[in-house]
Amino acid sequence: MQELLYLVIPCYNEQEVLPETARRLAQKLGGMAAAGTISPHSRVLLVDDGSRDGTWQLIQQLHRQNPLFSGLKLAHNRGHQNALLAGLMAAKDRCDMAISMDADLQDDVDAIDRFVAEYQAGSDIVYGVRSSRASDTPFKRNTARAYYRVLGWLGVEIVPDHADYRLMSRRALEALSQYGEVNLFLRGIVPLIGLRSSAVAYERHERFAGQSKYPLKKMLAFAIDGITSFSVKPIRLITALGVVIFGASLLCLGWLLLTKLFGYTVDGWTTLMGSIWALGGIQLLCLGILGEYIGKIYQETKRRPRFLVEEFLQSGDIPNIEEDAACSKEDQ
């Protein structure tokens, strides 16, 4: 029996790129269904993450034209990770495997065949790994590399150069649904699931149209989430730092007493001011790190829903493969 594939695409203000993305995905899935690689009931699930532009109208239109497209509308903008989770959870009971990818065509659509081949060879999770970072700015490339190194050092198990382009089997999705955390960092959670996994290398392109929805501020918040959701090492570092500084201050005290005893009452203004500032800074930094974890605990204890579905569009009809051009220019 052919296996049913869901492509889960989070979309936030993606009206510029969505028609082209839909066209290419319809072509791809149509081709695969025709070749018998996947079930003809396979779907593209477009998750509207509370967009403010015409994204949802576009999704409705695509759904009307071709049953291949399903739509899920979140009541608010909940961010990429939550939108992705919402889509994966909607797909969980309807598919045999789900592939998550971005709406902007940065992820190579042609890698889907290799994902499915890995799945058929027995993998429950297939990670899409970027073969090069040539399409990134040097800033992003270097910060990403340093970030992966820090994560590894902190003991967070993560697949380097893997974003959220991945295939998960129904079994893996079932496991994912049992992770109840509110601070989502899927790249950290998925490797925790275990099961059999493999990787597929792909070339990441430039965004096809529209603008990145990840400004530096959001990216930093995401990076901090990745560390604080998976590692308590920073807190331990604070303790270690405290011990070192306490030791140093004891030495300093001894030295002060000695100088006092031998009569050198040095004016010591610089040292004094220096240490006040340095210690103040370190204390604030440590408080900040602690606060970060306490904030996390606060959010987790509230157990708020991670997303709220406003509408779900799904048709039981078999998609018409010939109609895959249905979402071309004239529909925009």
Least separation, in Å, of the C-beta of 228 and ligand UDP? 20
88-93 contacts: CB < 8 A, separation 24 or more?
88/8, 88/168, 88/173, 88/176, 89/173, 89/177, 90/45, 90/47, 90/309, 90/312, 91/6, 91/8, 91/43, 91/45, 91/173, 92/170, 92/173, 92/174, 92/177
We find the least distance from the C-beta atom of residue 128 to Mg ion, in angstroms, to be 13
Apex 120 CA angle, 118 and 123, nearest 5: 55
Nearest to 168 by CA among 113, 116, 130, 129: 116
| CA-angle at 113, arms to 108 and 119, nearest 5° | 120
Residue with tokens 């590894």: 152
Strands 97-100 and 162-169: antiparallel
Q: Which does 59 bind (CB under 5 to 8 A by kind): ligand UDP, Mg ion, none?
A: none
- Over its C-alpha atoms, the chain yields an Rg (Å, rounded) of 25
Do 103 and 18 touch, CB atoms closer than 8 A? yes
Beta bridge partners of 8: 45, 100
230 binds, among ligand UDP, Mg ion, none (CB under 5 to 8 A by kind): none
Q: Which of 41, 73, 80, 306 binds ligand UDP (CB under 6 A)?
A: 80
Instruction: Give the range of 56-64, 100-108, 125-133, 231-239 binding ligand UDP by CB under 6 A.
Output: 100-108
Which residues have a Cβ under 8 Å from the Cβ of 52 and sit 6 or more positions away?
13
Q: State the binding string over 202-221 for ligand UDP (x if CB under 6 A, else -).
A: ----------xxx-------
42 binds Mg ion (CB under 5 A): no
As a whole number of angstroms, the distance between CA 32 and CA 324 comes to 12
Q: For the chain, give me the number of helices (H) and strands (E)? A: 10, 8
With CB cut-offs between 5 and 8 Å by kind, which of Mg ion, ligand UDP, none does residue 72 bind? none
Is 106 a residue that touches Mg ion (CB under 5 A)?
A: yes
Q: Is 83 in the site for ligand UDP (CB under 6 A)?
A: yes
Which range, of 106-114, 192-200, 224-232, 321-329, touches Mg ion by CB under 5 A?
106-114
Task: Tell which one of 7, 33, 72, 102 touches ligand UDP (CB under 6 A).
Answer: 102
Residue 115 interacting with ligand UDP (CB under 6 A): no
Q: Does 99 bind ligand UDP (CB under 6 A)?
A: no
Task: Report the nearest approach of ligand UDP to the CB of residue 102 (Å).
Answer: 4
Q: 213 to 272, contacts with ligand UDP by CB under 6 A?
A: 213-214
Question: Does the footprint of ligand UDP cover residue 77 (CB under 6 A)?
Answer: yes
Specify the 3-state DSSP secondary structure of 189: helix
- Options 5, 8, 11, 175; binder of ligand UDP; rule CB under 6 A: 11
Q: Of 123 and 127, which has the nearer Cβ to ligand UDP?
A: 127
The answer to whether 46 contacts ligand UDP (rule: CB under 6 A) is: no
For ligand UDP, which is the closer residue by CB, 55 or 61? Answer: 55
Among 104, 108, 118, 164, indicate the residue that binds Mg ion (CB under 5 A).
104
Which has the closest alpha carbon to 38: 205, 167, 173?
167
Binding positions for ligand UDP, rule: CB under 6 A: 10-12, 14, 49, 77, 79-80, 83, 102-104, 106, 212-214
Binding positions for Mg ion, rule: CB under 5 A: 102, 104, 106
